[in-house]
Amino acid sequence: MPSTTDRRPLQVLVAAPRGFCAGVDRAITIVERALEIYGAPVYVRHEIVHNKYVVDALKDKGAIFVETVDDVPNGVPVVFSAHGVPKAVPHKAAERGLDYIDATCPLVSKVHRQAERQVEAGRHIIFIGHRGHPEVIGTFGQVPEGTMTLVETEADAEALTVDDPGNLAFLTQTTLSVDDTKAIITVLERRFPDIVGPRGEDICYATSNRQAAVKSIAASCDLMLVIGAPNSSNSLRLVEVSEREGTNAKLVQRGSDVELAWFEGVGTLGLTAGASAPELLVREVVNKLSDWFDVHEEIIESAKERMIFKLPRSLEAV
Protein backbone atom coordinates (compact mmCIF):
# COMPACT_ATOMS: atom_id res chain seq x y z
CA MET A 1 0.00 0.00 0.00
CA PRO A 2 1.51 3.41 -0.95
CA SER A 3 2.24 5.86 1.86
CA THR A 4 0.03 8.93 2.16
CA THR A 5 2.65 11.14 0.50
CA ASP A 6 3.16 8.69 -2.40
CA ARG A 7 -0.50 8.39 -3.38
CA ARG A 8 -1.40 10.26 -6.52
CA PRO A 9 -4.66 12.25 -6.49
CA LEU A 10 -7.86 10.70 -7.83
CA GLN A 11 -10.93 12.83 -8.37
CA VAL A 12 -14.07 10.74 -7.69
CA LEU A 13 -17.36 12.11 -8.99
CA VAL A 14 -20.16 10.31 -7.15
CA ALA A 15 -23.45 10.33 -9.00
CA ALA A 16 -26.65 11.24 -7.21
CA PRO A 17 -29.22 9.76 -7.17
CA ARG A 18 -27.67 6.31 -6.85
CA GLY A 19 -28.31 3.10 -4.95
CA PHE A 20 -31.52 2.00 -3.28
CA CYS A 21 -34.81 3.12 -4.78
CA ALA A 22 -38.11 3.22 -2.89
CA GLY A 23 -39.23 -0.15 -4.26
CA VAL A 24 -36.03 -1.91 -3.17
CA ASP A 25 -36.08 -0.24 0.23
CA ARG A 26 -39.70 -1.35 0.70
CA ALA A 27 -38.99 -4.95 -0.36
CA ILE A 28 -36.07 -5.35 2.05
CA THR A 29 -38.07 -3.80 4.87
CA ILE A 30 -40.92 -6.25 4.16
CA VAL A 31 -38.59 -9.25 4.66
CA GLU A 32 -37.11 -7.72 7.82
CA ARG A 33 -40.55 -6.96 9.28
CA ALA A 34 -41.80 -10.44 8.39
CA LEU A 35 -38.86 -11.91 10.30
CA GLU A 36 -39.71 -9.70 13.30
CA ILE A 37 -43.38 -10.71 13.23
CA TYR A 38 -43.21 -14.40 12.31
CA GLY A 39 -39.70 -15.23 13.46
CA ALA A 40 -37.20 -17.19 11.38
CA PRO A 41 -37.37 -18.77 8.96
CA VAL A 42 -39.23 -16.62 6.44
CA TYR A 43 -39.10 -17.94 2.89
CA VAL A 44 -38.60 -15.62 -0.09
CA ARG A 45 -39.45 -16.68 -3.63
CA HIS A 46 -36.51 -15.59 -5.80
CA GLU A 47 -33.91 -13.04 -4.69
CA ILE A 48 -35.85 -10.24 -3.01
CA VAL A 49 -33.70 -7.83 -5.06
CA HIS A 50 -30.76 -8.58 -7.32
CA ASN A 51 -27.86 -7.93 -4.94
CA LYS A 52 -25.75 -10.62 -3.29
CA TYR A 53 -24.81 -8.47 -0.29
CA VAL A 54 -28.47 -7.73 0.47
CA VAL A 55 -29.53 -11.36 -0.01
CA ASP A 56 -26.70 -12.68 2.17
CA ALA A 57 -27.52 -10.17 4.93
CA LEU A 58 -31.15 -11.33 4.94
CA LYS A 59 -30.04 -14.98 4.98
CA ASP A 60 -28.04 -14.21 8.10
CA LYS A 61 -31.24 -12.90 9.72
CA GLY A 62 -33.19 -16.06 8.87
CA ALA A 63 -34.53 -15.60 5.32
CA ILE A 64 -34.45 -18.63 3.05
CA PHE A 65 -34.51 -18.02 -0.71
CA VAL A 66 -36.21 -20.47 -3.07
CA GLU A 67 -37.27 -20.39 -6.72
CA THR A 68 -40.74 -21.91 -6.31
CA VAL A 69 -43.43 -22.01 -3.64
CA ASP A 70 -43.23 -25.81 -3.93
CA ASP A 71 -40.05 -25.48 -1.87
CA VAL A 72 -41.83 -23.61 0.95
CA PRO A 73 -42.84 -25.88 3.87
CA ASN A 74 -46.36 -25.70 5.28
CA GLY A 75 -46.82 -23.32 8.18
CA VAL A 76 -44.19 -20.73 7.29
CA PRO A 77 -44.68 -17.40 5.48
CA VAL A 78 -43.38 -16.65 1.99
CA VAL A 79 -42.50 -13.25 0.50
CA PHE A 80 -42.69 -12.56 -3.23
CA SER A 81 -39.78 -10.57 -4.63
CA ALA A 82 -39.80 -6.93 -5.77
CA HIS A 83 -39.77 -8.05 -9.42
CA GLY A 84 -43.33 -9.40 -9.26
CA VAL A 85 -44.71 -12.87 -9.90
CA PRO A 86 -47.24 -14.45 -12.27
CA LYS A 87 -50.79 -14.70 -10.89
CA ALA A 88 -50.39 -18.46 -10.67
CA VAL A 89 -47.86 -18.09 -7.84
CA PRO A 90 -50.11 -16.48 -5.19
CA HIS A 91 -52.92 -18.78 -6.33
CA LYS A 92 -50.75 -21.82 -5.62
CA ALA A 93 -49.66 -20.36 -2.26
CA ALA A 94 -53.29 -19.78 -1.32
CA GLU A 95 -54.25 -23.32 -2.34
CA ARG A 96 -51.59 -24.64 0.02
CA GLY A 97 -52.77 -22.37 2.82
CA LEU A 98 -49.47 -20.47 2.97
CA ASP A 99 -49.30 -16.97 4.40
CA TYR A 100 -47.76 -14.82 1.70
CA ILE A 101 -46.64 -11.20 1.52
CA ASP A 102 -46.27 -9.51 -1.85
CA ALA A 103 -43.19 -7.27 -2.03
CA THR A 104 -43.71 -6.43 -5.70
CA CYS A 105 -42.59 -2.87 -6.40
CA PRO A 106 -45.73 -0.69 -6.74
CA LEU A 107 -44.42 0.61 -10.08
CA VAL A 108 -44.22 -2.97 -11.39
CA SER A 109 -47.72 -3.64 -10.04
CA LYS A 110 -48.88 -0.58 -11.98
CA VAL A 111 -47.61 -2.20 -15.20
CA HIS A 112 -49.45 -5.41 -14.24
CA ARG A 113 -52.73 -3.51 -13.91
CA GLN A 114 -52.15 -1.74 -17.24
CA ALA A 115 -51.64 -5.11 -18.93
CA GLU A 116 -54.93 -6.39 -17.53
CA ARG A 117 -56.79 -3.28 -18.71
CA GLN A 118 -55.36 -3.43 -22.23
CA VAL A 119 -56.31 -7.09 -22.62
CA GLU A 120 -59.79 -6.36 -21.25
CA ALA A 121 -60.05 -3.65 -23.93
CA GLY A 122 -59.33 -6.27 -26.59
CA ARG A 123 -55.82 -5.12 -27.43
CA HIS A 124 -52.78 -7.33 -27.99
CA ILE A 125 -49.79 -6.08 -25.96
CA ILE A 126 -46.30 -5.59 -27.32
CA PHE A 127 -44.07 -5.79 -24.25
CA ILE A 128 -40.59 -4.25 -24.41
CA GLY A 129 -38.24 -6.09 -22.07
CA HIS A 130 -35.49 -8.67 -21.60
CA ARG A 131 -36.42 -12.32 -22.11
CA GLY A 132 -36.15 -14.40 -18.95
CA HIS A 133 -36.01 -11.47 -16.53
CA PRO A 134 -38.28 -12.14 -13.52
CA GLU A 135 -40.16 -8.87 -14.05
CA VAL A 136 -40.98 -9.89 -17.62
CA ILE A 137 -42.07 -13.37 -16.51
CA GLY A 138 -44.26 -11.84 -13.81
CA THR A 139 -45.91 -9.38 -16.18
CA PHE A 140 -46.63 -12.02 -18.82
CA GLY A 141 -48.21 -14.06 -16.04
CA GLN A 142 -50.86 -11.41 -15.40
CA VAL A 143 -52.73 -11.99 -18.65
CA PRO A 144 -53.90 -15.01 -20.68
CA GLU A 145 -51.27 -16.78 -22.74
CA GLY A 146 -51.00 -15.44 -26.25
CA THR A 147 -52.19 -11.91 -25.43
CA MET A 148 -48.67 -10.45 -25.13
CA THR A 149 -45.62 -10.50 -27.40
CA LEU A 150 -42.06 -9.72 -26.26
CA VAL A 151 -39.86 -7.28 -28.17
CA GLU A 152 -36.24 -6.79 -27.05
CA THR A 153 -34.64 -4.69 -29.79
CA GLU A 154 -35.36 -2.26 -32.63
CA ALA A 155 -34.76 -5.15 -35.04
CA ASP A 156 -37.45 -7.16 -33.23
CA ALA A 157 -39.85 -4.23 -33.59
CA GLU A 158 -39.07 -3.91 -37.31
CA ALA A 159 -39.64 -7.63 -37.91
CA LEU A 160 -42.79 -7.90 -35.80
CA THR A 161 -45.93 -9.27 -37.44
CA VAL A 162 -49.36 -9.04 -35.79
CA ASP A 163 -52.84 -10.26 -36.68
CA ASP A 164 -54.69 -7.02 -35.91
CA PRO A 165 -52.51 -3.87 -36.26
CA GLY A 166 -55.43 -1.68 -35.24
CA ASN A 167 -55.74 -3.21 -31.77
CA LEU A 168 -52.30 -2.97 -30.19
CA ALA A 169 -50.84 -1.55 -27.00
CA PHE A 170 -47.28 -1.41 -25.71
CA LEU A 171 -45.85 -1.62 -22.21
CA THR A 172 -42.29 -1.83 -20.94
CA GLN A 173 -40.17 -3.40 -18.25
CA THR A 174 -39.42 -0.78 -15.58
CA THR A 175 -35.61 -1.14 -15.59
CA LEU A 176 -34.70 -0.62 -19.24
CA SER A 177 -32.39 1.84 -20.97
CA VAL A 178 -34.39 5.03 -21.48
CA ASP A 179 -32.72 5.69 -24.85
CA ASP A 180 -33.04 2.14 -26.20
CA THR A 181 -36.68 1.94 -25.17
CA LYS A 182 -37.47 5.27 -26.80
CA ALA A 183 -35.93 4.02 -30.05
CA ILE A 184 -38.00 0.81 -29.96
CA ILE A 185 -41.20 2.75 -29.24
CA THR A 186 -40.43 5.04 -32.21
CA VAL A 187 -40.29 1.98 -34.48
CA LEU A 188 -43.55 0.58 -33.09
CA GLU A 189 -45.38 3.90 -33.47
CA ARG A 190 -44.12 4.28 -37.04
CA ARG A 191 -45.16 0.76 -38.03
CA PHE A 192 -48.42 0.71 -36.06
CA PRO A 193 -49.81 4.28 -35.89
CA ASP A 194 -52.83 3.20 -33.81
CA ILE A 195 -50.79 1.52 -31.07
CA VAL A 196 -51.76 2.67 -27.57
CA GLY A 197 -49.07 3.49 -25.00
CA PRO A 198 -49.27 3.85 -21.21
CA ARG A 199 -50.49 7.17 -19.81
CA GLY A 200 -47.11 7.69 -18.17
CA GLU A 201 -43.70 6.20 -18.83
CA ASP A 202 -43.34 2.63 -17.52
CA ILE A 203 -39.59 2.95 -16.92
CA CYS A 204 -39.45 3.80 -13.24
CA TYR A 205 -38.32 7.16 -11.88
CA ALA A 206 -35.28 5.60 -10.19
CA THR A 207 -34.03 3.92 -13.36
CA SER A 208 -34.44 7.16 -15.34
CA ASN A 209 -32.81 9.26 -12.62
CA ARG A 210 -29.79 6.98 -12.23
CA GLN A 211 -29.21 6.90 -15.99
CA ALA A 212 -29.49 10.69 -16.18
CA ALA A 213 -27.05 11.04 -13.27
CA VAL A 214 -24.49 8.88 -15.10
CA LYS A 215 -24.94 10.97 -18.26
CA SER A 216 -24.31 14.14 -16.25
CA ILE A 217 -20.81 13.02 -15.17
CA ALA A 218 -19.64 10.55 -17.84
CA ALA A 219 -18.03 13.16 -20.12
CA SER A 220 -15.90 14.40 -17.19
CA CYS A 221 -14.64 10.92 -16.27
CA ASP A 222 -11.87 8.67 -17.54
CA LEU A 223 -13.57 5.58 -16.08
CA MET A 224 -16.94 4.77 -14.52
CA LEU A 225 -17.51 2.19 -11.78
CA VAL A 226 -21.05 0.88 -11.41
CA ILE A 227 -21.78 -0.99 -8.20
CA GLY A 228 -24.35 -3.70 -8.82
CA ALA A 229 -24.98 -7.37 -9.48
CA PRO A 230 -24.42 -9.00 -12.89
CA ASN A 231 -28.09 -10.06 -12.94
CA SER A 232 -29.33 -6.56 -12.07
CA SER A 233 -30.99 -5.08 -15.15
CA ASN A 234 -30.84 -1.47 -13.98
CA SER A 235 -27.12 -1.79 -13.05
CA LEU A 236 -26.22 -3.26 -16.45
CA ARG A 237 -28.07 -0.38 -18.11
CA LEU A 238 -25.89 2.11 -16.19
CA VAL A 239 -22.79 0.47 -17.66
CA GLU A 240 -24.32 0.77 -21.13
CA VAL A 241 -25.27 4.41 -20.61
CA SER A 242 -21.72 5.33 -19.59
CA GLU A 243 -20.18 3.51 -22.54
CA ARG A 244 -22.67 5.13 -24.90
CA GLU A 245 -21.47 8.48 -23.57
CA GLY A 246 -17.92 7.46 -24.49
CA THR A 247 -16.64 6.51 -21.03
CA ASN A 248 -15.42 3.00 -20.28
CA ALA A 249 -17.39 1.42 -17.41
CA LYS A 250 -16.90 -1.59 -15.18
CA LEU A 251 -19.53 -3.38 -13.09
CA VAL A 252 -18.36 -4.35 -9.59
CA GLN A 253 -20.27 -5.95 -6.76
CA ARG A 254 -18.16 -4.50 -3.95
CA GLY A 255 -14.79 -2.99 -3.04
CA SER A 256 -12.85 -6.25 -3.30
CA ASP A 257 -13.73 -6.46 -7.02
CA VAL A 258 -11.90 -3.23 -7.87
CA GLU A 259 -8.48 -3.71 -9.51
CA LEU A 260 -5.62 -1.22 -9.38
CA ALA A 261 -4.64 -2.01 -12.98
CA TRP A 262 -7.83 -0.33 -14.21
CA PHE A 263 -6.61 3.10 -13.08
CA GLU A 264 -3.61 3.60 -15.34
CA GLY A 265 -4.16 7.02 -16.89
CA VAL A 266 -7.31 7.64 -14.85
CA GLY A 267 -7.43 11.04 -13.16
CA THR A 268 -11.18 11.33 -12.71
CA LEU A 269 -13.42 8.40 -11.79
CA GLY A 270 -17.19 8.31 -11.94
CA LEU A 271 -18.96 6.22 -9.30
CA THR A 272 -22.59 5.14 -9.13
CA ALA A 273 -24.69 2.26 -7.81
CA GLY A 274 -27.67 0.39 -9.21
CA ALA A 275 -31.04 0.58 -7.48
CA SER A 276 -30.42 -2.68 -5.57
CA ALA A 277 -27.00 -1.72 -4.17
CA PRO A 278 -26.78 -0.29 -0.63
CA GLU A 279 -24.80 2.87 0.13
CA LEU A 280 -22.53 0.79 2.38
CA LEU A 281 -21.02 -0.74 -0.78
CA VAL A 282 -20.38 2.71 -2.24
CA ARG A 283 -18.44 3.59 0.92
CA GLU A 284 -16.60 0.28 0.66
CA VAL A 285 -15.43 1.08 -2.87
CA VAL A 286 -14.33 4.60 -1.88
CA ASN A 287 -12.37 3.16 1.06
CA LYS A 288 -10.69 0.67 -1.27
CA LEU A 289 -9.68 3.49 -3.59
CA SER A 290 -8.28 5.41 -0.61
CA ASP A 291 -5.81 2.56 -0.05
CA TRP A 292 -4.20 3.43 -3.39
CA PHE A 293 -4.99 7.09 -4.07
CA ASP A 294 -5.42 10.48 -2.46
CA VAL A 295 -9.17 10.53 -3.11
CA HIS A 296 -10.99 13.82 -3.62
CA GLU A 297 -14.68 12.97 -3.54
CA GLU A 298 -17.42 15.18 -4.99
CA ILE A 299 -21.16 14.44 -5.05
CA ILE A 300 -22.82 15.49 -8.32
CA GLU A 301 -26.56 15.65 -7.76
CA SER A 302 -28.80 15.78 -10.84
CA ALA A 303 -32.16 15.11 -9.11
CA LYS A 304 -33.69 14.73 -5.67
CA GLU A 305 -35.75 11.66 -4.79
CA ARG A 306 -38.41 11.75 -2.10
CA MET A 307 -40.50 8.74 -3.13
CA ILE A 308 -41.62 6.44 -0.30
CA PHE A 309 -43.84 3.39 -0.77
CA LYS A 310 -46.08 2.16 2.02
CA LEU A 311 -45.69 -1.31 3.47
CA PRO A 312 -48.50 -3.87 3.11
CA ARG A 313 -51.22 -3.22 5.68
CA SER A 314 -50.52 -6.51 7.44
CA LEU A 315 -47.04 -5.29 8.29
CA GLU A 316 -47.86 -1.62 8.90
CA ALA A 317 -50.32 -2.48 11.65
CA VAL A 318 -47.71 -4.30 13.74
Q: Does the annotation mark 135 as catalytic?
A: yes
Residue 1: what pLDDT?
56
Q: How many domains does the chain have?
A: 3
Measured between alpha carbons, how far is 131 from 47 in angstroms, rounded to an integer? 18
Question: Does 100 share its domain with 140?
Answer: no
- Position 310 in a domain: no
- Provide the Cα torsion 124, 126, 129, 130; round to 10°: 80
pLDDT digits (tens, 9 = 90+) for 266-278: 999 999 999 999 9
- Position 87 in a domain: yes
Domain stops at, among 105, 138, 167: 105
Range of the domain at 181: 106-191
- pTM to 2 decimal places: 0.93
Question: Does 81 share its domain with 139?
Answer: no
pLDDT digits (tens, 9 = 90+) for 1-59: 555 557 999 999 999 999 999 999 999 999 999 999 999 999 999 999 999 999 999 99
CA angle 181, 87, 33 (to 5 degrees): 90
- DSSP-derived secondary structure letter, 268: E
- Position 47 in a domain: yes
Question: Does 213 share its domain with 285?
Answer: yes
Measured between alpha carbons, how far is 69 from 80 in angstroms, rounded to an integer? 9
- Position 306 in a domain: no
Say yes or no to pLDDT of 135 above 60. yes
**50: exposed, middle or buried (Cβ count in 10 Å: 0-12, 13-18, 19+):** buried
Residue 232: what pLDDT?
95
Question: Does 211 share its domain with 297?
Answer: yes
Strand order in the sheet with 249-252: 249-252, 223-227, 268-273, 9-16, 294-301
Question: Does 211 share its domain with 291?
Answer: yes
Instruction: Find the CATH number of the domain harbouring 37.
Output: 3.40.50.11270
Domain stops at, among 67, 87, 105: 105
- Provide the Cα torsion 248, 251, 254, 257; round to 10°: -70
Question: Does 91 share its domain with 140?
Answer: no
The beta strands (E) that lie in 114-176 are given as 124-128, 148-151, 168-172
Catalytic-role residue among 135, 154, 240, 264:
135
- Position 112 in a domain: yes
Instruction: Find the CATH number of the domain harbouring 243.
Output: 3.40.1010.20
Question: Does 221 share its domain with 286?
Answer: yes
Residue 202: what pLDDT?
80
Domain stops at, among 105, 121, 145: 105
Question: Does 55 share its domain with 16?
Answer: no
Question: Does 53 share its domain with 112?
Answer: no
- Position 318 in a domain: no
Longest dimension (CA), the chain: 70
